[in-house]
Amino acid sequence: MLEPWRTGKVIKIENANSSTRRFWIEIPDAASFDFKPGQFVTLDLPIHEKKNKRWRSYSIASAPDGTNIIELVIVLLEGGLGTNYLFNEIHEGSELVLRGPQGVFTLPDPLEKDLFLICTGTGVAPFRSMAHYLHKHKITHGEIHLIFGCRKFSDCLYREELEQLQKDERHFYYHPVFSREENVGDGAYKGYVHAVYESILQQNKRPANFYLCGWKNMIDEAKQRIVAMGYEKKDIHQELYG
């Protein structure tokens, strides 16, 4: 059953970097906005006459916390009607029509296998939600490897808090990967996400679930490589961006 459309109010906006913003949205008619980490909301933006040309879906970047406030992290797409509207017309105090939560890109229950959370860009949003949720609720899990591909250091969203989470949460490993940086420092990688999960699994192949979130090219290549390592398609879950 689809959730009803409701009105949210933008209560805070922050620049994450030159092309990405964090939007905090309060849903006043809900005492709490309950969702599963990994789910998304759909915004109905006044950018087209046809309904389906107005809808834009974004993963919830915050973890469920019992409040009626959620965070979305959105990158400005060149020529994108939706993101240009959000960046140019929406400010603190603006209202947005939204529907949700929606989606089945959620954590397995129970968490028996190791998890590889592989993302690029704002595809980190659902994984940030999952990681904070697991930590807050002290949920038992195997190894979790969050592999986050970026071009430059400035593209690496939530870096400090994910580094802190790696220190605070047992068996949680954070692997930032940079394709356009020469010197990346300890704990980071040069290149692309695929070499990282392949390297980890070459050292110790084990039962695992793979969650992919980001641009189509990354997801398509990851699926091919994961299957080539001997995993089944049912081990792979994806959320496509763009």
pLDDT tier at 242 (50, 70, 90 boundaries)? Answer: low
229: which 2 tokens? 């390592």
> pLDDT per residue over 99-140, tens digit each?
999 999 999 988 999 999 999 999 999 999 999 999 999 999
> pLDDT per residue over 206-227, tens digit each?
999 999 999 899 999 999 999 9
- C-alpha–C-alpha distance, residues 15 and 20, integer Å: 6
Q: Which of 214, 217, 229 is nearest to 120 (CA)?
A: 214
- C-alpha–C-alpha distance, residues 226 and 115, integer Å: 13
- C-alpha–C-alpha distance, residues 134 and 178, integer Å: 26
Q: Which of 180, 179, 233, 181 is nearest to 209 (CA)?
A: 233
pLDDT tier at 238 (50, 70, 90 boundaries)? Answer: very high
What predicted TM-score, i.e. pTM, was given to this entire model? Answer: 0.95
In this predicted structure, what is the pLDDT of residue 1?
75
Q: Which domains does the chain have, with CATH numbers?
A: 6-102 (2.40.30.10), 114-240 (3.40.50.80)
What's the chain's average pLDDT?
Answer: 95
- C-alpha–C-alpha distance, residues 29 and 55, integer Å: 21
CA atoms within 13 A on the CB side of 52: 0
- C-alpha–C-alpha distance, residues 73 and 3, integer Å: 22
Structural contact between residues 47 and 53, judged by C-beta atoms closer than 8 angstroms: yes
Is-cis flag, bond preceding 101, omega within 30? Answer: yes
Calculate the CA 205 to chain-centre distance. Answer: 25
pLDDT tier at 187 (50, 70, 90 boundaries)? Answer: confident
